[in-house]
Amino acid sequence: MADAAVIEKLEAGFKKLEAATDCKSLLKKYLSKAVFDQLKEKKTSLGATLLDVIQSGVENLDSGVGIYAPDAEAYTLFSPLFDPIIEDYHVGFKQTDKHPNKDFGDVNTFVNVDPEGKYVISTRVRRGRSMEGYPFNPCLTEAQYKEMEAKVSSTLSSLEGELKGTYYPLTGMSKEVQQKLIDDHFLFKEGDRFLQAANACRYWPTGRGIYHNDNKTFLVWVNEEDHLRIISMQMGGDLGQVFRRLTSAVNEIEKRIPFSHHDRLGFLTFCPTNLGTTVRASVHIKLPKLAANREKLEEVAGKYNLQVRGTRGEHTEAEGGIYDISNKRRMGLTEFQAVKEMQDGILELIKMEKEM
C-alpha cells in the first residue's frame, strides 16, 4: 500500500486538477473522484504508485495526455485510469478489444512510394520496445540503467551485415563525437518538462546511448524515453527497404533480449500513446499544391488515418512546404496493416498532387 506521504501528495494533486478548469488533458477528463479513491492506495510490486502515473500531468496542466506508466504492471493495476485514456487516444480501440499478435506480414508488399524522387525527401519507420523484467524510467536505479546498457550494447555490437555499426554511450562522450551525432540529427537531448516531471531523466546520462550502422540508415536510442527506440531511415521514398531493414533488426534484437508484452495492449512502453505495434512510419514530403490548401491535405490524410505535422515534428511549421506525415493508428491492427495504411495514404496524396 502507498505510504501516507504519497497519499497526501496525491490528494493535493487531485485538488489541483479539480481546480484547473481550463485543463484539457485526458488525465483530467478521466480521473474522477471514484477512480482516484479506488487507486490512490495501490502500489505495484516494484513500488510504483498512482503518483508516479499522474505527476507529470499534475505538474503540467497543459499536457495533452498527462500520464505515464512507471512499470509494466501499472497498465494492469491502474487500468481504471489507463483503459479509458487508451480508448480515447487510440480512437476505435475499445476497452474490450485485444491488440492482435505481432505480424510484419509480407514485407515485399512495401514499395518505393516515389520512384521518380520528386516528392518524398526521406522515409523513416520506428518502433519502441521495453526490456522484460525492468521497470520504466521513473523506477529504474542507476545500477539497472548500467546493466541494461551493457546488455543492449553487447547485443547491438553483434549485429552483422547492413546493421553492423558502433555504440556511442552518452557518458564520457567526446565533444567531436557529440557534434558529429548532432550534425546527423541522431543525438537526443535530456527530456522536456513533461518527461522531467514524470521522473524520466534521473541519473542522466548514465545508461543512455546511441547505436548506428555504418551507412547511417539504422539507429537505436537506448534509454531515452523508452528502453529502446529502434529506427530505420534513408533518403528518398523506398518504404519497402526501410521496413525490411527495421523488421530484420527487430527480429535479431528480440532473439537476445525479451521484450515487455501485454496480452491486451501489445508491446508496452512508457507512454500510453505508444502501445500495441508502437510503429510510427513517416515521410518528409513536399506537396506544394495540396499544401496550399491545408484543410484538403488534412482531410485526405484523415481518410487514411495519417497525421500531418510540421517539418520538425509536433507543434512546428512546415519549412519550405515540407511536411512530416505518419500513420496515426498503432493499436488494434498489426504492424503490417499500420504501415500499409500509411503507404496507401502517401501514394494517394502523391497521385492527387500530380493531378492538381
Catalytic residues: 126, 225, 229, 271, 273, 280, 309, 314
316 annotated as belonging to a binding site for a ligand? no
* Residue 313 assigned to a binding site: yes
Q: Is 127 annotated as a binding residue?
A: no
Task: Say whether 221 sits in a helix, a strand or coil.
Answer: strand
Phi, psi at 126, each rounded to 5°: -135, 155
Asked if residue 227 belongs to a known ligand binding site, the reply is no
Helix axis angle for 142-157 and 239-256, nearest 10°, is 120
129 assigned to a ligand binding site = no
Question: What is the DSSP secondary structure assignment for residue 95, as one 8-state letter?
Answer: T
Residue type, 153: S
310 carries a ligand binding annotation: yes
Nearest alpha-carbon partner for 129 in 294, 306, 335: 335
Q: Alpha-carbon distance 182 to 271, whole Å?
A: 25
Rounded distance between C-alpha atoms, residue 69 and residue 299, angstroms:
33
> Cell 485485444 appears where?
98
Bridge partners of 260, per DSSP, are none
The strand pair at 280-286 and 218-222 is best described as unpaired
- Give the H/E segment covering residue 306: strand 306-309
Alpha-carbon distance of 165 to 185, in angstroms, equals 17
Would the annotation count 309 as a binding residue? Answer: yes
- Please state whether 332 falls in left (phi above 0), alpha (psi between -120 and 50) or beta: left
Annotated binding residue 261: no
Alpha carbons 183 and 181: distance in angstroms, whole number? 5
Q: Check the annotation: does 264 bind a ligand.
A: no
Q: What is the dihedral of CA 92, 97, 99, 105, to 10 degrees?
A: -70
List beta partners, residue 24. Answer: none
Q: 212 among the known binding-site residues?
A: no
Check whether 280 is labelled as a binding-site residue: yes
124 is in an annotated binding site: yes
Cis previous bond, 80, omega within 30: no
CA dist., res. 287 & res. 310, Å (int): 13
Binding-site residues sit at 122-126, 185, 229, 280-284, 309-314
Binding-site residues for ATP sit at 122-126, 185, 229, 280-284, 309-314
